[in-house]
Amino acid sequence: MTNLARAGTFKLGDRLVHRVGYGAMQLAGPGVFGPPRDRGAAIAVLREAVAAGVDHIDTSDAYGPHVTNQILREALHPYPKDLVIVTKVGAERGPQGSWDPAMSPSAIRRQVDDNLRNLGVDTLDVVNLRAMFDTMGPAEGSIEAPLAALVELQREGKLRHIGLSNVTRNQVEEGRAIASIVSVQNHYNIAHRSDDALIDSLAAAGIAYVPFFPLGGFSPLQSTTLSDVATKLGVTPMQVALAWLLRRAPNVLLIPGTSSVEHLRENLAAAELDLPADAVRAVDSL
């Protein structure tokens, strides 16, 4: 079994967690909408992840909607004491599966209550506010109102810690002036590195950075380069991409997602992959 401790730990809120976790998005149906084709397989993946030492799971009640959190509850409740569940608010699903902005204070409260109910907990460990000014990526706009709503819910005891997702550097600065921010979750990978400076500044502040889409956005040439590196090392391209992210900065926490136990094991094995210097140079060149 993979030793996740090889990749080190980092503080997420008030808890030290292994730097390789699990993202639950793929446990819902196609397009992250509706139920999965095989609910039993989804449950098996979650139980395998926790058995392997995963101690932080990323989710959202918008996945399904409600489906992923309900599967999490069925698979793992009562949750292990060392498990940190991170969820998101700021978007709700339309009847045809659209991702609709939902950042009013009343919508934030509704989403927090939905997460509490479907996860079966009294308090959420970490809630990320996903800024939805543009569904295609980060866009400027004030997050004061939805973040203030989360702070109020935090005072009520409904959540312990607050994070941000899909945000610009300006929004991170605005958020940190309003609340204690424990993590930032943004699009970042080998080919998409616009957050380089942000990662470093967050590391200096002791704030976790959680990249999503670790293989997203590659051109065929970049995919070929990554595949060549993986072939030489006898591993998968995803393992190389994850290992590179772990090497990028000590505050990077990974949440690779899958609905397959076999693929889960491959992803977790990246915790033990030490990239040689020539592999790092090749990947850095992308």
Q: Are 151 and 186 in contact (CB under 8 A)?
A: no
Q: Are 28 and 34 in contact (CB under 8 A)?
A: yes
- Give 120-174 as a DSSP string: T-SSEEEEEEE--S-TTS------HHHHHHHHHHHHTTSEEEEEEES--HHHHHH
Q: What is the C-alpha end-to-end distance of the chain, expressed in Å?
A: 32
Q: Are 181 and 207 in contact (CB under 8 A)?
A: yes
Structure tokens at 114: 């939905």
State the DSSP code for 216.
Answer: T
Enumerate the β-bridge partners of residue 84. 56
User: Which residues are designated catalytic?
Assistant: 63
Rounded Cα gap, residues 24 and 17, in angstroms: 17
Q: Are 152 and 111 in contact (CB under 8 A)?
A: no
Residue 237: which residues within 8 A CB-CB, separation 6 or more?
A: 215, 223, 226, 227, 229, 230
